Amino acid sequence: MSSIDNSTRKSQQSDLNEIQAEHNRKKKQITKENESQLDDLRGYYAEKKENVRQSNEAAINHIRERQKEMVEDSVEKRSNLSENYNARTAALQKDYDQRVTDTRNKRREQLETVQVESNQKIKATQDHAQQEVNGIRERSADEIQKAKERYNKDVKEINSFAQKRLDNLHEQNERSLNNEMERGKQAQAKLRANQEEDFANQRSTGDKKIAIQQEQQQKQLTRSETEYKKDYEQQQKHWGAKEKNLNEQYSQRVMQNKKAYEKELKNQNQHFQSTYLKNNEANRESLNIQEDMYAKELATTREKFSKQAAKYESKEQDPFYKVENRGSQMQETSDFYVLRAFVPEHEKDSVRVTVQNDRATVSGQRSFKDQLENDNKKTTSSSFQTFREEFAFDKPIVSEGMTRERDGDFVVYTIPKMTSMGFNRKA
């Protein structure tokens, strides 16, 4: 049995070995075939990649050559256009220079002729205008002097009238006060007389009662006297309190009268000030009207003068080309920098003052427009100007502690130094 099993086992093992060998052979064959197919695929894709690369390079080279040809054509066309433009520009420039030269020569001759005639007319016009201006000034001075005299006279009359009213009110208040004091004294004297009369009456009544009841109430004499004394003291206290109350009422009335007098005096003073301000405003308005009339006359004269002469003969005399000093100043004390910036009320919106660590700057701009009208002709002149003023600080400052106040046409900036507040640059 065992021998059969061994032979069977060997036979089966031999079959298994053959099957394993066949499997390995087929495996090698399949692997070899797969590797061959992979090599073929790699070669195919490498050849295809090379063909695509060559095709792309050919297309790129073609595009580059095309662009190069287009660039060369563009450069050539641009060169031709530039040459044509330069030639035409040179011709135009030459023609323009010739025309400018001819025009300048003609204008120079015309200006020389006009200048000779203008100088003669200017002198005559200046003499005539100066005579008219002098006449207007004399008339205006006389009118202003008369207005000032009328104003001073009115102010003097108002002051005299107000002083008389104040004196009358003062006398009336003094009389009222004296009358009140006299009435108070009379009331006090009358009250004292009544108190004394009442006291005498009560004392007489008490004596009568004591005399009548002396025999019957001998035992109660001591008690009656004690009660009478107590009642007498109470009456004394009552009348003393009443007298004190009357004195206080009198003092209060005196104080009220005094306050009323002071209030009336204050009202009279305010009324005087109001009347004075109104009259002052009316006089000022009258002066403004006269100044407007003078300005109109002056404008008419200036119009006549400006038609025949120029205002300035050269740039050196023209204020438009000059650097203007506006009058701003800065002073230094031991603890502060004081900057006085010229900022009139009518320029406060166009002037800016900037304070930095090392400098203060006053900058701004202003414009002026003038207009003259004559029949159907209107002449307008406008000017625009900017300005800037800088002031350097030698020592550090504390801009947060700066104060500002207006003084007429100036704005005063008080800027503390850092040393005055216990600081230095290292801190």
In this structure, the chain runs to a length of: 427
Using the predicted structure, report yes or no on whether residue 141 has a pLDDT greater than 90.
no
**Which pLDDT belongs to residue 357?**
80
- Residue 414 is predicted with a pLDDT of 93
Query: In this predicted model, what pLDDT tens digit does every residue of 380-415 receive, in sequence order?
Result: 777 778 888 999 988 888 888 889 999 999 999 999
Residue 341: count other Cβ atoms within 10 Å of its Cβ: 24
Half-sphere exposure in the Cβ direction for 387 (13 Å, CA): 23
Question: Angle, to 10 degrees, between the axis of helix 221-306 and the axis of helix 2-213?
Answer: 120
End-to-end CA distance of the chain: 118
- The Cα–Cα gap between 345 and 343 comes to 7
**Which pLDDT score, from 0 to 100, does residue 361 have?**
92
User: How many percent of the chain have pLDDT more than 90?
Assistant: 5
Measured from the Cβ of residue 378, the count of other Cβ atoms closer than 10 Å reads: 9
Q: What share of the chain is helix, strand, coil (3-state, %, to 5)?
A: 75, 15, 10
**Which residues lie below 8 Å from residue 361, measured CB to CB, with a gap of 6+?**
352, 353, 354, 388, 389, 390, 391
pLDDT at residue 427 in the model: 39
* DSSP bridge partners of 367: 384
Q: What is the pTM of this model?
A: 0.28
Lowest mean pLDDT among 120-124, 277-281, 390-394: 120-124
On the question of pLDDT at 80 being above 50, the answer is yes
pLDDT of residue 313: 47
pLDDT band at 282 (very low <50, low <70, confident <90, very high): confident
Lowest mean pLDDT among 144-153, 186-195, 373-382: 373-382
Percentage of the chain modeled with pLDDT above 70: 85
Using one digit for the tens of pLDDT, what is the confidence trace for 298-344? Answer: 666 666 655 544 444 444 555 555 566 788 899 998 889 999 999 88
Per-residue confidence band for 83, with pLDDT thresholds at 50, 70 and 90: confident
Is the pLDDT assigned to residue 22 strictly greater than 80?
yes
Q: How confident is the model at residue 56 (pLDDT cuts 50, 70, 90)?
A: confident
In this model, does residue 114 exceed pLDDT 80?
no
